[in-house]
Structure 1
Amino acid sequence: MRWSRDRAFCQANGWTPELSAQQVRDWWREWWRERREQAKYLRMIEVDGGLVGYAEWQDVQGGEAELGIAIGDSGLWGQGVGTQAGKQMLAWAFGELGLRRVWAEVHEPNARSLALMRRLGLREVSKNGTGEYQGAVVPMVQFELLCGKVRINRPAGE
């Protein structure tokens, strides 16, 4: 429910803000029903024992998958939560899951997500297609990372 009340999160993730508790429950039930088969690729993100987001591998097939990370508490944006989750997801992908290539799509105006992908070592490969972001149709930036090419970019002074 907290995420559905967080306007910044809703705008960034295409959620409808201020839904009733029943509407939010219905939305999550449908989300879970649609992803039941993919649930084994979903990890919840916790901070201090509280659920603050999720990370998942989507479209897992042929040794490839798409990375998705959502931090539901916008107050935690810029605090390294997504970076830590992304590092763990990449270790899982190229380790236990045995993936050869991972990719992600980011709305071009989403500077935080663009920076996150770069910090995780993904490289921009194209701008292809559009998606809705904060009420506008914007270009999508595609990133990829190949197995064996993992490098973590650290900010200066870290």
Structure 2
Amino acid sequence: MTDRIEVRRTIAAAPADVFAVLCDPQGHVAIDSSGMLQAATGEPVTAVGDEFVVHMDREALNDFPDMGRYDVTVRITEYEQDRLIAWTILGQIKPPIGHVYGYRLDPDGDATTVTSFYDWSDIDQKWRDAGIFPVISEPALRATLGVLDRTVRRGYPRG
């Protein structure tokens, strides 16, 4: 069994247009297929170490009904303009879980091949023993790429 999921989709847009959505906290909310991301607070990210807050609602997954609404901090761990963005999630859970989400963008003519990845290979042993990974499934990652495609084609961030 692997500790990483990767899915790909070609989007008919330039890498810069796709990357703009992925760097914007509101973009994360706009493309989330799980329904957990309710809102975000913060500025678009521009470098490793940048952070923003996402207001979550775990009831959307109904896997932990007692979690309800909570906030997490997204911390950027990898950043290459128009090519790569990855982040980990910081919250009130101790020790921090240590899973990583991200996107790799590869130019493909007038389009961009977007690889979405979710990696829990370095999670804390406490969370590995809990048997809760992956939290987000491969179909959910694929769905988010579909929403990303639609969002970019609609001219994000246009209302």
TM-score (norm 2): 0.32
Please identify which structure carries the higher helix content.
1
